[in-house]
Amino acid sequence: MIIVKTAKLIASASSDTTIKIWQQDGKLLRTLRGHRDGVIDVAFSPQENIIASGGEDNVVNLWRLNGTIRNSLHGHRGSVHRVVFSPQGDLIASASEDRTVRLWSSDGDSINVLLGHQREVLAVAFSPDGQTIATGDRSGTLRLWNRSGKLLDAFVAHKMPIRDIDFSPDGQLLVTGGDDNLAKVWQSDGSLIETLAEYDAPVTGVKFSPDGKIIGTSSWDRTIKLWHLDGTLHSNLEGHRGRVWGLAWSPDSSTIATAGWDNVVKLWNIKNPLVKTFYGHQGSVLSVAFHPQGKLIGTASDDHTAKLWHLDGTLKTNFTGHSAETYEIAFSGDGSLVASTSLDRTIKLWRTQGTIVDTSLGHEAPVADVDFLGDDRFVSGGFDQTIRFWRLQQVAKKVQVVAKRTIFAHQAIITDIDVSSDNQLIASVSQDRYLKLWQNDGELIQAILADDTGLRTVAISPDSQTIATGGREQNVKLWDSSGKLIRVLEGHQGVVLDVEFSPDGTKIASASADHTIKIWNRQGKLLTTLRGHRGRVWNVAFSPDGQQLVSGSEDKLVKLWDLKRILELNPLEYGCHWIRDYLKTNLNTAGREVR
């Protein structure tokens, strides 16, 4: 399925032989029928009064917006892979399986045939002034022609088929995408500038934004990537459940429409996304935390580092010093200190600007978790089955850490601990299947056999009346403060790796090995499922105001979700940046908006 977009309309072409025209709000205006086989490509004229389409029936059709055929253009002896209008609207170019590109007048008269490709032609594009035509074929050869049909240049641009071509708005640059999993940026004279190499599958669509600042690319790996012109990644859009075949920009460069084999068209808000992605870690992001004032995000990774980020995704501080995977990051109550734990058996205490306070802390085995008890105390849990209590004290204007107490808390590795909002209660869970509740001085309150296979995570509600646990049973269990099971939240298809309460206690977030995050209300109703990570989601954290959620994943990414807007826009299910899933093009759901 291929789509094109104007300021007011969206057109989609499908293998079901139809073309559908939609309003921006997702309402189906009409279905165009006239091709005898699958429709491969569709294009609006610059004046937006004509639609051109090409298909597997070897025909180019020109349509009026009312759905009637203006002309059918015959001449190709193979499927028509691509149709494009010149920017002035006076020419139409069609690329075909028959190894030719044909030029037509806007009235449908045959003007010229471009000969020379040795393999079927898959891509064609006009320069903004309409004077140059770029074509790409299955051999990876790119050819540049003038509009009279004279060959200007030819060279091998990709080692495999070229799927798409686009000129920059100023005509100075050209971008190509191919089956070699690459997108490439060229000067108009054919010299290579940048290679965009982040895909694991063919690049099927390449488009410059109308303002010329961003390049959008789509791929069979189900993603859309946005790039700065210098080749750095701007953002990664995930949400399609099948190969993505193409993309189109809105005229104001604020929105992208994409289409894929999942039979869904998605609109993505680029200017004000519902999720921001932070890039920088070289390994799985194992822990995330919000600064108490909500102005920073902390992350820990198995790349041995911890980092502090501004909310716009720029890096503030990079903490280096651990010699193995960094498991956890936590802020002190006043936000002045950061603690990190590691497989290297240490706890490191830092100031937010990056200076080290203490490196001599730790356990006899890897340290799984750390949490502050206010400003001057913190507690840690480790693979050595102990919980350790620590106190900060000021000595000669320096902060020193004193070990206060060590308790042998569990009969197996401690996987998570949590401290209540009032700092009076501590919860711990372990692979020994027990949930244990402790006073803040380390006295045991009660032990609950909470899981049949092993616990991974625990969270205490802000009012300390409910405790949530998750683990290998792939569910979230809610317990009251007396240890009675209240309810079980079912829905994940993998181990529940983290669970958190929102600051007001009305919502619960659960992160899973199934690559998703689920948001529930306190009564156990599923509010939304957040999809976008491409690996296990290890950790989540609510912002202090509860309006945002940050997540860390095996895919090395940190994502910041605008949870308030997501829940307002769609209370059932959402994911990533997209505004809505516009439609499905199969016959059973044609014309129905799919949310």
In this structure, the strands spanning 574-575 and 526-531 are parallel
* Measured CA distances, 122 to 85, 88, 216 (Å): 16, 23, 19
Does residue 14 contact residue 257 with C-beta atoms inside 8 Å?
no
* Element (DSSP H or E) covering residue 276: strand 275-278
Provide the pLDDT for residue 495.
97
**pLDDT digits over 199-245, tens only?**
889 999 999 999 999 999 999 988 889 998 888 888 788 778 888 88
Is the pTM higher than 0.75? Answer: no
* Element (DSSP H or E) covering residue 569: helix 563-569
Does residue 466 contact residue 459 with C-beta atoms inside 8 Å?
no
At the top level of CATH, which class does the domain 2-273 belong to? mainly beta
CA separation for the pair 558, 91 (Å, rounded): 46
Please give the structure tokens belonging to residue 397.
């204007």
Does residue 418 contact residue 426 with C-beta atoms inside 8 Å?
yes
Cα end-to-end span (Å), the chain = 19
Q: What burial class does residue 488 get, using C-beta atoms within 10 Å of its C-beta: 0-12 exposed, 13-18 middle, 19+ buried?
A: exposed
> Which residue stretches of the chain have pLDDT < 50?
1, 570-595
Q: Do domains 2-273 and 277-576 have the same CATH topology?
A: yes
CATH fold label, 277-576:
Methylamine Dehydrogenase; Chain H (2.130.10)
Please name which of 234, 229, 212, 210 lies closest in space to residue 312, comparing C-alpha atoms.
234
β-bridge mates for residue 551, sequence order: 540, 559
Query: Domain residue spans in the chain?
Result: 2-273, 277-576
Provide the pLDDT for residue 581.
38
